[in-house]
Amino acid sequence: MRAGLAFVLPLAALLAAPAAAQVADGAYAGGAVAERFVHAPPAPIPAGIAAYGPFRVIDPARAALVDVTDERTPAQFAAMLRDYPGLAMLEMVDCPGTYDDRANLRLGRMIRAAGIATYVPSGGSVRSGGVELFLAGAERLVDDGAEFAVHAWSDEDGLEASDYAVTAPENHKYLIYYREMGMDGPAAQAFYAMTNSVPFGGARWFGAAEMRRWLGQETASPPPQPAPASAPKLAYLALPYLDLGAGLH
């Protein structure tokens, strides 16, 4: 964990959030890599048949994300796909966010490139940087009873997204990412504004119905039916990949 960035949710925000939730949040500016995550009461974690960092392989077609991501996670994800090439679905069970936003966005692009669906089951919790990973799914599935949390980032100088111009690299990298994940320009801007509608010391919690509205899904997703390990991965819409280079440092 990068030293020097650890924040505790103020009491007022703590009382407004679901039971005993607390927040630790940040973002990166320039070359600084920061933490961005929201804690919540732990969900039941599947044991799985193999573990790769925050991932648990449930069976040859499904894996679960059960913890915070960091700078090692893209390589762990790549190793998991190498060993289990039939993986077609990522169940998001307990996803607090990330210790490394740059690596987290890279991981999201890897999920999309692999054509893997993301699925939040009832009781699943996806917060902060985990939301970017959910959006990366080639197909996004949400059960009633799933929960999400977002909040504004804050950099090492205590500045938040609203302290920078919309076109500044600190903000623009997220708009680019959301467009890569299938949102048009206005939708990306609206979604990003929503994620920054609560200061970094708080959290905005919402449920499955609101997430489906952002996805353009009017009804609940059908229960997922993972393909057999021998079946090809889910087809997905190929989106342009932008190598942001220094823009994501």
CA atoms lying within 13 Å on the CB side of residue 147 = 18
Residue 47 binned pLDDT confidence (cut-offs 50, 70, 90): confident
CATH hierarchy code of domain 16-217? 3.90.226
At residue 220, the pLDDT reads 57
Residue with more model confidence, 118 or 226 = 118
Q: What is the 3-state secondary structure (H, E, C) of the chain?
A: CCCCCCCCCCHHHHHHCCCCCEEECCCCCCCCCCCEEEECCCCCCCCCCEEECCEEEEECCEEEECCCECCCHHHHHHHHHHHCCCCCEEEECEECEECCHHHHHHHHHHHHHCCCEEEECCCCEEECHHHHHHHCCCCEEECCCCEEEECCCECCCCCEHHHCCCCCHHHHHHHHHHHHCCCCHHHHHHHHHHHCCCCCCCCEEEEHHHHHHHHCCCCCCCCCCCCCCCCCCCCCCCCCCCCCHHHHC
Q: What token pair was written down for 249?
A: 């440092």
Check whether 16 has a pLDDT greater than 70: no
Residues 132, 177: Cα–Cα separation, whole Å: 8
At residue 2, the pLDDT reads 28
Per residue in 131-184, pLDDT tens?
A: 999 999 999 999 999 999 999 877 778 888 889 988 899 999 999 999 999 999
At residue 157, the pLDDT reads 84
Q: What token pair was written down for 89?
A: 């679905």
Check whether 208 has a pLDDT greater than 90: yes
Residues 248, 228: Cα–Cα separation, whole Å: 37
At residue 147, the pLDDT reads 96
Check whether 25 has a pLDDT greater than 60: no
Residues 239, 237: Cα–Cα separation, whole Å: 6
Residues 177, 85: Cα–Cα separation, whole Å: 25
The domain spans of the chain are: 16-217
Per residue in 48-96, pLDDT tens?
A: 899 999 999 999 999 999 999 999 999 999 999 999 999 999 999 999 9
Q: What is the pTM of this model?
A: 0.74
At residue 223, the pLDDT reads 55
Dihedral (CA of 211, 217, 220, 225) sign: negative
At residue 55, the pLDDT reads 97
